[in-house]
A and B are shown apart, each in its own frame.
Chain A
Amino acid sequence: MPKRDYLGLRAALADRMLPVLVAAMSFLAALALAGALASATLAATWESQAASALTIQVPQPDQPDPTGRTTRLAAVLAALQATPGIASPKVLDAATEDALLTPWLGAGASELGLQLPGVISAAWTGAGTPDTLATALANISPGTLVDIGAVWAARVAALTNSLLDCAVAVLLIVALVAAAVVAVAARAGLAQRRETIAIVHGLGALDGDIANRFAFRATVLAVGGSVLGTVLALPVLAWLAALAAPFSGQAASSALMALPMPLWFAMPALPIAAAGIGWVTAQLTVRGWLRNLP
């Protein structure tokens, strides 16, 4: 291969260390990328679900409403059914209430003789937040509380955004470490081929000729390593996705199908990013080194 490899880079930039290190970097990057995408997906899902949830507590639910024609609970339910933007209002049955209170009051809370409020769950489908709803319901049933999910949605958003930032930070760190690995490999190759490069430089090779050869070799090795690392990450990611399926609320027929669709589109970006890092880092390293030659 003398025509293509007169610098002897097949030996100087060997196909062992660099690809293995880049494979490890890509493996970590794939995990971080999956974490970032999972955080973003969960953020979107949880935020929409939490923001639309309404919980209405009606104290003394069996007492008559101000009109005296029905109970407070029924009156509030009817008012909710008649309010635009409120969907699926539903009174929680005693068993469900018992289950919700079990952590605080133990099993059979309804049998303790406590005055428990009636609880209605609903979804808010209107724009903004139902600010006037609490006042309207309090007129029908004094003391009625409306718990809007937007507060929880904001907390969920903060959590998931924090997770997303962490994942992006990990990706950046992995990219920087990968660049450092390529730079060290390129410098080792330069040290090994110092004499050869000096000769070729003396014969009239442009800095770009030499840098391009190093960069091409580094890019090939980086892409090879990155493909290996990304492929090796797939079964691990599938396993993690299968473990997280109950948590994310998504069931899948197979482990690989458990991976979110955006991840399948994002994974090929890793070898492309590795190629970019390999090419740019090798170019900068070699051109900087060549400045030492006259």
Chain B
Amino acid sequence: MVRFEDVWLRYQNAARPGEPALDVLRGVSFEIPDGGFRWPTGPSGAGKSSLLKLIYLAEHPAKGLIEILGTKAAKISRRESALLRRRIGVVYQDFRLLPQLSAYDNVALPMRLAHRSETQIHADVTEILRWVGLEQKLLVRPDELSGGEQQRIAIARAVVARPKLFVADEPTGNLDDDQAHRLMLLITALNRLGTTVVVATHNMALVERYPAPRLRIEAGRLLPNA
């Protein structure tokens, strides 16, 4: 379960500490049950990415309660926080691949951090890279891949450890329609297996093709669903 209760997120401009802090999320409350699927939508700068950062524990709220996979985020140690992150698969808007690692090693990283065996890592990583159509590029480094290929590596890395919660920020932004459709098949398959899914997007055609409740955000506030 993912639960937000009156959550505020505030950014202070480090370059101008005298200026008042900017509230990027204001009193956001919602709940996603285990195995649920939500589309956070809204215009650029509305606060979608900030909402996702709170979900994947990259930010602390200024106020409010956040519960991720049954754990209250404010009450856990750094170690517990790290272990909770391992249960969350994230696709960042800018992919955030490690440039010094090959495609294979990038995808294997979450499993290595979880101390899985190399045998299992090899089986799962080659399988997922085949699924995203990059089985021929196992040893290629990210800077030698196209934007779409990098995005598919980022997606493979997010799902390889079978996360309980999948969070993606514009995951189809660099993909053509066919690749986007394949990705959505993967995400819906994950969702059917019990993974909670939160995907922020501008792509309303995608939202309409794969219907699920929306989290509509504007100016940092969550709007009621129509």
Contact = CB atoms under 8 A, between A and B. Distances in A.
Contacts of B157: 203
B102 A2 contact: yes
Interface stretch (B11-19, B108-116, B189-197, B203-211): B108-116
B58 A209 contact: no
Contact of B101 (A6, A195, A205, A206): A6
Interface in B50-107: 56-60, 78-79, 81-88, 90, 96-98, 100-102, 105
A200 B96 contact: no
Contacts of A196: 98, 100
B113 A203 contact: yes
B110 A204 contact: yes
Contacts of A294: 57-60, 81
A202 B96 contact: yes
B109 to A, nearest CB: 6
Contacts of A11: 100
Contacts of B57: 294
A52 to B, nearest CB: 64
Given A3-B112, A8-B100, A294-B59, A204 B105 contact: no
**Chain A interface: which size bin?**
10 to 19
Contacts of A204: 82-88, 110, 113-114
Interface residues of B, number: 29
A6 B105 CA distance: 8
Interface in A200-220: 200-207, 209
B83 A202 contact: no
B105 to A, nearest CB: 4
B179 to A, nearest CB: 23
Q: Which of A200, A201, A204, A205 has the most CB of B within 10 A?
A: A204
Contact of A203 (B60, B78, B79, B110): B110
Interface in A1-28: 2-3, 6, 8, 11
A269 interface: no
A44 interface: no
A70 to B, nearest CB: 92
Interface string A252-284: 000000000000000000000000000000000
B169 to A, nearest CB: 12
10 contacts: A2-B105, A6-B112, A199-B97, A202-B56, A202-B90, A204-B82, A204-B84, A204-B110, A204-B113, A294-B60
Interface of B: 56-60, 78-79, 81-88, 90, 96-98, 100-102, 105, 109-110, 112-114, 157
Closest 6 CB pairs of A and B: A204-B86, A2-B105, A204-B85, A8-B100, A206-B82, A199-B96
Given A2-B105, A204-B113, 9 more contacts: A3-B105, A3-B112, A199-B97, A202-B90, A205-B82, A206-B79, A209-B113, A294-B59, A294-B81
